[in-house]
A = this chain, B = another copy of it.
Amino acid sequence: MSLQPPRGTRDFMPYDMVRRQYIFSTVKRVFESFGFNPIETPAFESWDILSKKGAAGDDVKDEIYYFKDKSDRELGLRFDLTAPMSRVVAANPQLPKPFKRYQIGRVWRYDRPQAGRFREFWQADVDIVGSEKMDADVECIAAAVRALEALGFRNFMIRLNNRKILNSIIKKIGIEERKVPDVFRSLDKLEKIGEEDVIKELKSKGVSDSECKSLMRAIKLKGSATEMLKKGNEIYKSSGFGELEEMVKLSKKYDIDKYIVIDFSLVRGLDYYTGPIFEVFVKEFASLGSITAGGRYDNLIKTYGGRDTPAVGISLGIERIYEIMESKKMFDLPACTTQVFVAAVSDDVRKNVIQIAEKLRRGGLNVEIDLNKRNFKKQLEYADALGINYVLIVGAQELKSKSFPLKDMKTRKQVSMGLESVVKKLT
């Protein structure tokens, strides 16, 4: 019997959890500051919902954990948080619009596990359902950037494109409309497999040599946002240009326009995007890929049988954020949540330790005591092994004077004080 967690999944120990909970609570705080409200949906959905055309890319479908319950219902573990949210919105047409929700939770994909890729991983999403205005798209990006800032990241790059623009480019070049989803899926691999292999793939899908060349030229257009939108619209004519222009304008109000790079080669893998698409990079770690991405998907809710409802959202990849923050030592956090260990110097004072601990707890501190009747030295060793920063020492003399040595386990220095002072010092 293996004691390891199932392949592609992980156990998180207190050290990890202190850091992960910091990420979650920070992201939650920022999302709520933008007026996003929390919802939760089940870990599994009916197979009908998950396999709904348009909800997932073709690749994703092969990667779902599928199972039947004991009544032969077909179910699957959710592979993202957008499909369940779309179902909820379709099921509740009475919800006031826009419906702005955040959701932070696990998703599962039966992917090949590799460095930084897991079969069980966490996403943090905000979505705005019921506004077709670019205000919604920009607010999603702003919320994501503010969350990353609150975590300590600086210097972003926001790659911005629009599926409408890509559609216009493809149309102008003369590629048949039915090939569009295939073309998008190939273009999405540009960074991963390189231009040569993308062209090879496109050709195998029936895109001609000259079409490939025109396509590559078009998506590689470079320049300032203003230039590219003006020039692009002259050649390809699409309402997508105006939308991006509006986004750039609105993003000034959030002071994030300086991060925007218009990039016609940005495609995003999912089939369901219909308008603006975007990725946020931290410049310093750009080689690690985007840590946040999203886009507009105006047809998805309808796909689920809901009313025709515009929607846009963005998703933070928690695992990549954690990885970067840990490797770059961006966490300034203790090893564990416990702040003080109250140690009994000798057996005769043990009976007083609980009440001292309870007083400190009422003051708001996280306090551990000895549960194993160990001697003083062993208690200190234990507190050290757990990484608890302070030990409060209780002896007969201290009980009389009501002043207790508080030992800083890092500096090994100790200062005596009353319990109220301990609370004050550590909160």
> Which A residues are closer than 8 A to B by beta carbons?
1-7, 9-14, 17-18, 20-21, 32-46, 48-49, 52, 65-71, 73, 75, 77, 84, 87-88, 90-92, 96-98, 100-101, 106, 108, 110, 120, 128, 130-131, 133, 135-136, 139, 146, 250, 253-254, 304-306, 336-338, 341, 351, 354-355, 358, 361, 364-373, 382, 385-386
Complex: chain B residue closest to A381, CB-CB: B96
A43, B7: Cβ atoms under 8 Å?
A: no
A39 near B11 (CB under 8 angstroms)? yes
Known: A3-B90, A33-B366, A358-B254. A371 touches B38 (CB 8 A): no
| A3 with B37, Cβ < 8 A, contacts A100-B368, A106-B43, A368-B100 known | no
Does the CB pair B14–A37 fall under 8 Å? Answer: yes
Of the listed residues A6, A128, A370, the one surrounded by the most CB atoms of chain B closer than 10 A to its CB is A6
Q: Which residue of B40, B66, B135 is within 8 Å of A11 (Cβ)?
A: B40
Contacts of A1 in B (CB 8 A): 46, 48-49, 52, 304-305
Pair A11/B41 contact, Cβ less than 8 Å: yes
Which of B364, B373, B386 is within 8 Å of A96, CB to CB?
B386
**B40 touching A382, Cβ below 8 Å:** no
Question: What is the distance, in angstroms, from A106's C-beta to the closest C-beta of chain B?
Answer: 6
| B371 and A98 form a contact (CB under 8 A) | yes
Kindly name the residue among A3, A130, A372 whose own CB sees the greatest number of chain B CB atoms within 10 A.
A3
Q: Are A45 and B366 in contact (CB under 8 A)?
A: no
- Please tell me which one of the listed residues B17, B36, B338, B355 contacts residue A40 in the complex, with CB atoms under 8 A apart: B17
- When chains A and B are docked, how far (Å) is the Cα of A14 from the Cα of B336? 31
Residues in chain B near residue A100, CB distance under 8 A: 368
* B residues in contact with A4, CB < 8 Å: 91
Residue A42 contacts which of B2, B120, B351, B386 (CB distance < 8 angstroms)? B120
In order of increasing CB-CB distance, the 10 nearest A-B pairs are A35-B368, A67-B67, A3-B91, A9-B42, A14-B37, A253-B354, A17-B38, A96-B385, A12-B40, A33-B361
Output the nearest chain B residue to A138 by Cβ-Cβ distance.
Answer: B354
Across-interface contacts of A43 in B (CB, < 8 A): 43, 77, 106, 108, 120
Chain B residues near A364 (CB, 8 Å)? Answer: 33
Q: List 8 A-B contacts (CB under 8 A).
A: A3-B91, A11-B42, A34-B366, A34-B368, A43-B106, A67-B67, A70-B110, A136-B371
Known A6-B46, A11-B91, A14-B39; 5 more pairs at CB < 8 Å: A7-B73, A70-B110, A131-B371, A146-B361, A253-B354
